Amino acid sequence: MFITRKDRRIVDNCRAKARKATKLCYSPGCNKNAIMSHIQQAEGPLRLIAKEGKVMQLMLNNSFEINPWRFQKAGIREGDILRFWGFCKECDSNLFKDVETTDVDYYDYRNLLLLSYRALCNELYKKEYNLKQFDKILKSTEISSACREQFEYKKLLTRVGIHHTHQEKKLIEENLINFNDKHYDFLIFKIGEINICGSIYFSLPEAFNLQRALADLTNCQRREGSYFVQLIPTKETTFFIIGRRKQMTHGYYNFSTLAIANEAYIFEVINEILLKFSESWCMSIEYYDQLQNKGIIQLILSTMKQYSRPEMKLEAMTFNMFNYK
Give the residue with the Cβ less far from Zn ion, 124 or 285: 124
C-beta separation of 109 from 182 below 8 A: yes
Give the residue with the Cβ less far from Zn ion, 10 or 91: 91
Smallest gap from residue 91 Cβ to Zn ion (A): 3
Smallest gap from residue 166 Cβ to Zn ion (A): 17
Smallest gap from residue 30 Cβ to Zn ion (A): 3
Tell me if residue 84 falls in helix, strand or coil: strand
Give the residue with the Cβ less far from Zn ion, 84 or 267: 84
Strands (E) located in 24-150: 36-38, 54-60, 69-75, 83-85
Give the residue with the Cβ less far from Zn ion, 30 or 156: 30
Give the residue with the Cβ less far from Zn ion, 91 or 113: 91
Q: How many helices (H) and strands (E) does the chain have?
A: 10, 9
C-beta separation of 49 from 43 below 8 A: no
Smallest gap from residue 86 Cβ to Zn ion (A): 9
Give the residue with the Cβ less far from Zn ion, 27 or 165: 27
Smallest gap from residue 92 Cβ to Zn ion (A): 7
* Positions that interact with Zn ion (CB under 5 A): 25, 27, 30, 32, 88, 91
Q: How far apart are CA 133 and CA 265, in angstroms?
A: 39
For 248-252, the CB contacts below 8 A with 24+ separation are: 248/185, 248/224, 249/224, 250/224, 251/204, 251/224, 251/225, 251/227, 252/204, 252/225, 252/227, 252/314
Sheet containing strand 226-233, edge to edge, reads 69-75, 54-60, 281-283, 196-203, 226-233, 238-245, 184-190
Smallest gap from residue 26 Cβ to Zn ion (A): 8
Smallest gap from residue 62 Cβ to Zn ion (A): 32
The helix or strand, by DSSP H or E, that contains position 309, with its residue range, turns out to be none
Packed helices 210-219 and 145-177: angle between N→C axes, nearest 10 degrees:
50
Give the residue with the Cβ less far from Zn ion, 76 or 121: 121
